[in-house]
Amino acid sequence: MHIHYFQHVSFEGLGCIAEWCRTQGHTLTATKWFEPDANADAAATADWLIIMGGPMGVYDQDQYPWLTTEINIVKTALEQKKKVLGICLGSQILAAALGANVYAHTQKEIGWYPVDFTFQEQAADLINVLPQHMDVFHYHGDTFDIPNGATRFAASAACNNQAFMYDNAIGLQFHIELTPTSLVAMIDHGQAEITAGGPFVQQRNHILANTPQLSVNNNALVNLLNYLAAK
């Protein structure tokens, strides 16, 4: 397949998804919106869009005009029944493309917190793909309403809407794509927010102590990528 991904900041790349694409023999192209010559033309011919994370919000379109372009591209992909995977900001962009509200949550969720998965309606087949419970890495201050026609299939104590499925599209609020290197890059960039703390904000040492959990997260994501590829 031809997979095109949207990257919004230099420190939030594909993570383990890049290796999966390589081993599966997929063609990979990218739009890196933070680069001055960013071009999204290749997205039009892609079979699958992957939308990565970033510290900006969907509502920051005045500051980042490319957000409007990106949302419109995702809308078109959904109309064409293409595969779409959105991670963190990517899930919020996917929700916005489906007409749902995206807004600041009552609290930030940063660190390793468990999510509970539920398997019903459109997400019923995920019972063979994901565990019922998993500790995952979160880094977000926004949340979204579940789009009309979509099925929610994950929740955490801090945030009820953690994942949804709509046709061939899946949005994940949390990060299961990270590698040890990209985890360090993310927390380095967000150190001020981490230091500020909060009821669902873990400190750097605690976050890094749980780095071995990334392999469990990556395995779950590979299962999900294989599922979407076959869908």
Q: Mean pLDDT across the stretch 107-124?
A: 97
**187: closest CA among 6, 11, 7, 8?**
11
In tens, the pLDDT along 97-112 reads: 999 999 999 999 999 9
Q: How far apart are CA 21 and CA 26, in angstroms?
A: 5
Render pLDDT for 134-173 as a digit per residue (tens, 0 to 9).
999 999 999 999 999 999 999 999 999 999 999 999 999 9
Query: Which residue has 């976050």 as its token pair?
Result: 207
Residue 141 host element (H or E): strand 133-144
Instruction: Tell me the torsion sign for CA atoms 140, 145, 150, 152.
Output: positive
Cβ of 79: how many Cβ atoms within 10 Å? 9
For residues 158 and 113, give the distance between their C-alpha atoms in angstroms, rounded to a whole number: 9
Q: Please say whether the beta carbons of 160 and 142 come within 8 A.
A: no
Q: Give the tens place of pLDDT for each residue, 58-111.
A: 999 999 999 999 999 999 999 999 999 999 999 999 999 999 999 999 999 999
d(CA 42, CA 97): 19
Question: Quick check: 190 and 55 in contact, CB under 8 A?
Answer: yes
**Tokens encoding 111:** 């660190």
pLDDT value at residue 70: 98
Q: Model pTM greater than 0.85? A: yes
Please compute, for residue 152, the number of CA atoms within 13 A of its CA located in the half-sphere on the CB side. 16
Q: How far apart are CA 154 and CA 107, in angstroms?
A: 18
